Homo-oligomer: A and B are copies of this chain.
């Protein structure tokens, strides 16, 4: 018995408005749910990307559901899957939008990664699934 899939991936951002502006304008994502000052959630094909304000989630939520506290400070990291053509497209799009590409390289065993930062300083990556031996 082992976990087979991650359902929720988390990033933290104190300025959720800046995060929402960035993930919308740059990545084309529309919020699935949000609570002002606490979180903005995005629904992908089979997973959720949850961006929380750690100052809010470190406090008990109140209400009927005993959702546990959490909340980290500093620069997190997330990587989205993209094939080689999509990565080239993302590179063009980021450049057009004036978003600095912090790194762009091929891994020794094949597959490209590009990296940039969100407004909270989180390291955001697009990578080909084959860097981990997955089919595209």
Interface residues of A (CB under 8 A from B): 1-10, 12, 27-29, 32, 43-50, 52, 54, 57-58, 64-82, 86, 89-90, 93, 102-103, 105, 107-108, 115, 122-123, 125-127, 129, 132-134
Contact = CB atoms under 8 A, between A and B. Distances in A.
- How many protomers of this protein does the assembly include? 2
A7 B5 CA distance: 10
Given A76-B72, A102-B68, A105-B65, A44 B5 contact: yes
6 contacts: A6-B78, A6-B79, A10-B77, A65-B107, A70-B123, A72-B74
Nearest to A7: B81
Contact of A9 (B9, B12, B107): B9
A88 to B, nearest CB: 11
A76 B10 contact: yes
B74 A8 contact: no
List 5 tightest A-B contacts by C-beta distance, closest first. Answer: A8-B79, A72-B74, A3-B80, A72-B72, A2-B28
A56 to B, nearest CB: 13
